[in-house]
Amino acid sequence: MQIEKIDINDERYPKRLLKIKAPPSEIYVLGNVDLLNSKNTLGIVGTRKCSEYGRIVTNDFARIIADNGVCIISGLAMGIDGIAHNTAIEKKGKTIAVLGSGFENIYPKENEWLFYKIMQNGGCIISEYPPETVPDKNKFPIRNRIISGLSDALLIVEANYRSGSSITAKYAKQEGKSIYAIPNTIYATEGIGTNRLIKDGAILVTKPEEILEGYKIVNTKKAEKNKDKVNKLMINQGKNKRNEVKILPNEYLEVYKILSDEPTHIIEISKKLSKTISEVIPIITILEIDGYVQQPTTNYFMKNIDY
């Protein structure tokens, strides 16, 4: 695939980049150039050493957001960035990767496969550096202004106290863009950055629909999928609320029904449901929070007999 060099006066140059403080005078592009001026874009960034929680959240948010036509922008890094790109591709969505090096020196090497996967699936990769440019740690923070510049808004999933994601958020704040952040436990180092951003005014989000609202997009696919799929579940509510009817969506009811009064390991639950563990964990966590399920010991779940 041929590398295209687009200078700042070219009509194909990203209109959003023209609005940032220091737009690159020229960019190098591989792939679908039209994505550079996508109608709706969202930057998704985070730590390279993400937790399982961060991986699940990134997958869930990127999946739904890409499925609703929003182009996902990130930096091809390990961790959150790579998951966001890959999930967008898997959903046949749109994604743009911004490199901090030239195309002949893809960094990190571990994500070279993702570089080609983006190319093969209608995505776009850009860099402000000539193809022969080697990776340099000083270039990556500068690169982040382009991630922010191409994005209408920014979602930060996990970030350490000092991180590239925090730098990207700083650019977004200077540009007056909405910054969304996922809350995290106060004991997780990968949650320090996001919790601090929320404290400083970033928008706390717990579901993708809250971001889609900012684009005035209704998650119609979810609405269609869930239409007429709400079931009533009879459960013991105690002496004063015995047999009270509770409403659970199908996906939650399915998990609840597979449980018993004896603890079952999460692996066994996922096998019975023919789902991955990452698909089951968010559902069973909500059921636990709502009191339907209890976890007597780590990764073992059962119906809450006292509920």
Residue by residue, pLDDT tens for the chain (307 residues) are 689 999 999 999 999 999 999 999 999 999 999 999 999 999 999 999 899 899 999 999 999 999 999 999 999 999 999 999 999 998 899 999 999 999 999 999 999 999 999 999 999 999 999 999 999 888 888 999 999 999 999 999 999 877 889 899 999 999 999 999 999 988 888 999 999 999 999 999 999 999 999 998 877 565 444 444 444 444 443 333 333 335 567 888 889 998 988 889 888 999 999 988 878 888 888 788 778 888 877 778 888 865 4
Whole-number pLDDT of residue 173: 94
Whole-number pLDDT of residue 306: 57
User: Residue 108: is the preceding peptide bond cis (ω within 30°)?
Assistant: yes
Say if CB 55 and CB 82 are below 8 A apart.
no
| Helix ranges restricted to H, 139-275 | 139-150, 164-174, 192-199, 208-212, 220-226, 250-258, 266-273
- Domain borders along the chain are 4-218, 228-303
Whole-number pLDDT of residue 161: 79
Q: Tell me the pTM.
A: 0.72
Whole-number pLDDT of residue 240: 39
Cβ atoms within 10 A of the Cβ of 194, count? 30
**Fold for the domain defined by 228-303:** Arc Repressor Mutant, subunit A (1.10.10)
**CA pair distance 168, 51, nearest whole angstrom:** 20
Query: b vs e for 242-269, b when ≥16 Cβ sit within 10 Å of the residue's Cβ?
Result: eeeebebeebbbbbbebbeeeebebeeb
Whole-number pLDDT of residue 247: 57
**Fold for the domain defined by 4-218:** Rossmann fold (3.40.50)
Q: Which residues pair with 27 in a beta bridge?
A: 6
Q: What is the pLDDT of residues 175-200, one digit of tens each?
A: 999 999 999 988 888 999 999 999 99
